[in-house]
């Protein structure tokens, strides 16, 4: 399971021309689920997402978590994070979990975030989404479990 975290000033998800989610300061999380991933990975990644100190405070540029700055989290499913790219020039996706396995783990990750964070929004699993963001820093971190 992979979570690509981007520290943002704002992020928005559109589906069919309609804004379905939008946040200001916080994290945009692109979440990829691979074959063999389990619920414990979702739990661990959610905790790490909320506790990772990648926001500025009065002492250091990367000393506060999204929780410390009372930021929001926007989670978007991203099966392409499980792409196999070692051979050839066309990514393969046989390592990505099929939707019927990936969606429950995606939902578990979101549930775990919502246990601690008051503002968690999501894209629409499996939809063709347009994601806009203003990456602050830029700061982009890949978490894997």
Query: Pick the catalytic residue: 12, 49, 78, 122?
Result: 78
- Candidates 81, 58, 78, 55; CA nearest to 67 is 55
Active site residue 70: no
> Could you give the number of structural domains in the chain?
1
64-93 per-position pLDDT tens digit: 999 999 999 999 999 999 999 999 999 999
117-141 per-position pLDDT tens digit: 999 999 999 999 999 999 999 999 9
Active site residue 80: yes
pLDDT (mean) for 1-30: 98
- Predicted TM-score (pTM) of the model is 0.96
CATH code: domain of residue 67: 3.50.80.10
Query: Pick the catalytic residue: 6, 49, 79, 122?
Result: 79
Q: Would you tell me how many other CB atoms lie within 10 Å of the CB of residue 11? A: 25
How far is it between the farthest Cα atoms of the chain? 47
Active site residue 122: no
Query: Pick the catalytic residue: 80, 93, 130, 140?
Result: 80
User: Which residue segment(s) compose the domain that 134 sits in?
Assistant: 2-144
**With contact defined as beta carbons under 8 Å apart, do 116 and 50 qualify?**
yes
């Amino acid at each position: 399971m992979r979570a690509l975290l981007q520290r943002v000033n704002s992020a928005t998800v559109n589906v069919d021309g309609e804004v379905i989610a939008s946040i200001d300061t916080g994290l945009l999380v692109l979440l990829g689920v691979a074959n063999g991933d389990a619920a414990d990975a979702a739990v661990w990644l959610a905790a790490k997402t909320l506790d990772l100190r990648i926001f500025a405070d009065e002492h250091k540029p990367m000393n506060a978590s999204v929780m410390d700055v009372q930021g929001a989290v926007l989670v978007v499913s991203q099966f392409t994070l499980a792409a196999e790219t070692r051979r050839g020039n066309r990514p393969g996706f046989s390592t990505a979990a099929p939707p019927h396995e990936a969606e429950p783990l995606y939902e578990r990750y979101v549930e775990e975030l919502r246990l601690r964070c008051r503002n968690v929004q999501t894209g629409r699993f499996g939809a063709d989404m347009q994601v806009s963001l203003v990456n602050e820093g830029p700061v982009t971190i890949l978490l894997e479990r």
